[in-house]
Structure 1
Amino acid sequence: MPDLTLNMTLRAYDHLTPLFLGDVPTPGIKLNLDHRAPLTSAFPEGLAAAEVSFNRYVLAAAKGDDSLIGLPAFILRGFRHRNYIVRRDSPLETLADLRGRTIGTNSWSDTGTMWARAAMRDAGVQVSDVDWVIGDLDEATPLKPPTALDVDPPRGSRVLRSGETLMGKLRDGSIDAVTTAFMPEPVFQPDGEFRRLVRNYREVEQEFHRRTGVYPGFHIVAVRRDFAEAHPAAVITLYNALRASWDLWWSKAKKFAEGSPWAMEEVETMIRDFPGDTPPFGTEAVAHQRMLAMICHEQFAQGLIARAARPEDLFGAFERLGTRIAA
């Protein structure tokens, strides 16, 4: 009997290299990976699995949309205290300094910007304490197109006109800070005109992690429910392959750590300080349970949803697939 074809879109992250190279077995399925397709919450016909926005997936779950089954595979993670930009001559130095200020963003519904607002709220600044401006980041990074799972920014938010950009408004002083997923190149220039708001972001993020136990997740993998219900074993095989890919990469990282001069120290930091998040799979670890609870709480607290999703429901359908296969 020929293998079942499983079409999937997935970014080519380092820890997924073994999967892309074919070094991970996927018994019973022929895995077709597309790493060039843009991230989407809409699954076109023929697409069985995809990397998706975790924030949008949880929003859908909170609204009762069960068309996708999420896998507890947290394939993209990070802290967002570092993702606020100010002018180099700005007097602002901390997230607490943002109260009463004007902040720009080029996406309201992205998981990263949700976590950035969570970091701000953790510093004592509520979403309503800020004037929000929505628009293109710069000439090369337009405002992200809306999806069916997007939510509206707060009432009173201003949308930039065509030809205006957030970085331009930051440059001329019309706004005080910008938060976005990826830092524009001037932020990386030692004497560039822009800098990160939180200069000592590693220390601040470490303190947040020590206090909350949360290492934020941005993207997960999800499968179409109709595909999962027709082929539950294929879904479990996919999940196991993602885990196996991470394991192979992690073994290599511990041997070589060649990505940067102190990459080995980063490996040891993960082992020492993030044991519950290593590997980034499953819901059994207390660290992951805290992260799930926080994203559900933050969506409600930030006004993204009228009724918060329940953390235990987010991956319940996937767990039931595993039980079904085991039986």
Structure 2
Amino acid sequence: MNAKLRVATYIYEHTAALFDGRVTIEGADATFETDALVSNIFQRTVERRYDVSEFGLTYFLRTFDLPDSPFLALPIFPNRNFRHSAVFVNTAAGIESPRDLAGRTIGEFALYGHDPGVWMKGILADEYGLTPDKCRWVIGGTDHPIPPFDWIPQPVPEGVDVRHAADGETLSAMLESGEIDALVSVDVPRALLNGSTKIARLFPDYETVERDYYRRTGIFPQMHIVAVPRETASRTDLVTSIYRAFHEAKEIAQRTYRDGAAKQHMSVVTPWFSGHFEENRALLGEDWWPYGLAANRTAIDTFLRYHHEQGLSKRRLTSEDIFVPALLDT
């Protein structure tokens, strides 16, 4: 009898084939769900509403400090992004370099240590000597007020000044007014998109910085994994089928771009896209969005170190601690 699975993930181009039926999970009768806000999927994951679900890395790792940690991860990374582009500053604050953030008040989206925040705090500490305790932190929504995410553990390390924005406040407005000096956010402030000259990126030429970061480290930062309950993790055939299905869906998306190069990607609406594609292909390789542990271990181990150093994990976890045993050799 096939396993019945309730699966939740955002609809990306590399998961679309799962939703439209081009790819199925062998040995399972799966139904797929999504949400416009991926954090809603995370919350329902914590509430144990899904059998398989996309889960933000920091949200997932925080569950390991619960009395009975309920999940393990499959080495599937539906969301990843370079994050130097996620740091914004008030242009009147006199911040010209990352080291100028010392002593400043910085906003952070959603919670202290959201996934881009963990990556950027770690990078700022490793490469510029700027540790989180040297700044003050205000947590909130970028363009819309949000309440604290009280459905997930929210550790704050000793010696780090963290508070939540007041009711009705947004970090974008606070940044534009100068109430905060900088912002780390997955969302680009609407004011910047609308042409405000009071907000700028800390790294104006972020693409060059991020490409250099990849050349030096080999890290393409992961934001999310796919999680399953521990009782599912022991079903080797099933978790292998889930992994293969997500991998096949991703390969369909990547193959579309590789095949499209012969026609200069005439189906893509973005001008000069083929040039960008070839540049990325030359840097990142034929599989520029890899799944499996072998191709991602360096990045994952780096995130696990950052998570522990930033006081978000009680102990430094390893890849062997967090991934389904049957998929450690992928």
- Report the residue type matching 2:41 in the other structure: L
**Structure 2 residue 62 is matched with structure 1 residue 52:** no
Give the drift of 1:284: 1.6
Aligned residue runs from structure 1 range 222-261, under 5 A:
222-229=227-234, 231-256=235-260, 257=265, 258-261=268-271
Give the drift of 1:309: 0.5
- Report the residue type matching 2:59 in the other structure: R
Counterparts of 2:215 and 2:186, CA distance in 1: 23
- Report the residue type matching 2:94 in the other structure: P
Give the drift of 1:259: 4.8
Aligned residue runs from structure 1 range 1-327, under 5 A:
1=1, 3-36=2-35, 38-40=40-42, 42-44=45-47, 47-61=50-64, 66-106=69-109, 107-121=111-125, 122-138=127-143, 140-152=144-156, 155-229=160-234, 231-256=235-260, 257=265, 258-275=268-285, 278-285=288-295, 288-319=296-327
Q: Which runs of 5+ in 1 are unaligned?
A: none
Q: 1:53, 1:219 within 8 Å by CA — same for their partners in 2? A: yes
Equivalent position SS for 2:146: coil
Identify if the C-alpha distance between structure 1 residues 261 and 135 changes in structure 2 by more than 3 Å, giving closer, same or farther. same
Instruction: Provide, for residues 225-255 of structure 1, a one-character-per-residue CA deviation record: whole Å limited to 9, x for no partner.
Output: 22333x4322211110100001111111223
Counterparts of 1:61 and 1:268, CA distance in 2: 40
Identify if the C-alpha distance between structure 1 residues 91 and 44 changes in structure 2 by more than 3 Å, giving closer, same or farther. closer
Identify if the C-alpha distance between structure 1 residues 196 and 308 changes in structure 2 by more than 3 Å, giving closer, same or farther. same
Equivalent position SS for 1:178: strand
Q: 1:73, 1:221 within 8 Å by CA — same for their partners in 2? A: yes
Instruction: Provide, for residues 10-50 of structure 1, a one-character-per-residue CA deviation record: whole Å limited to 9, x for no partner.
Output: 10011111221111132221220001272315444552110
Instruction: Provide, for residues 278-320 of structure 1, a one-character-per-residue CA deviation record: whole Å limited to 9, x for no partner.
Output: 34211122xx121022111111222222321123332253427
Q: Percent same amino acid among aligned pairs? A: 26
TM-score by length of 1: 0.87
Q: 1:133, 1:157 within 8 Å by CA — same for their partners in 2? A: yes
Identify if the C-alpha distance between structure 1 residues 50 and 210 changes in structure 2 by more than 3 Å, giving closer, same or farther. same
Counterparts of 1:87 and 1:246, CA distance in 2: 38
Segment of structure 1 superposing worse, 259-268 or 208-217: 259-268
- Report the residue type matching 2:248 in the other structure: A
Identify if the C-alpha distance between structure 1 residues 274 and 149 changes in structure 2 by more than 3 Å, giving closer, same or farther. farther
Give the drift of 1:136: 3.6
Segment of structure 1 superposing worse, 165-174 or 246-255: 165-174
Instruction: Provide, for residues 167-195 of structure 1, a one-character-per-residue CA deviation record: whole Å limited to 9, x for no partner.
Output: 23223322111111111222223455422
Counterparts of 1:111 and 1:103, CA distance in 2: 16
Tell me the number of residue pairs that the alignment of Structure 1 and Structure 2 aligns. 317
Counterparts of 2:49 and 2:166, CA distance in 1: 38
Equivalent position SS for 1:39: helix
- Report the residue type matching 2:117 in the other structure: T
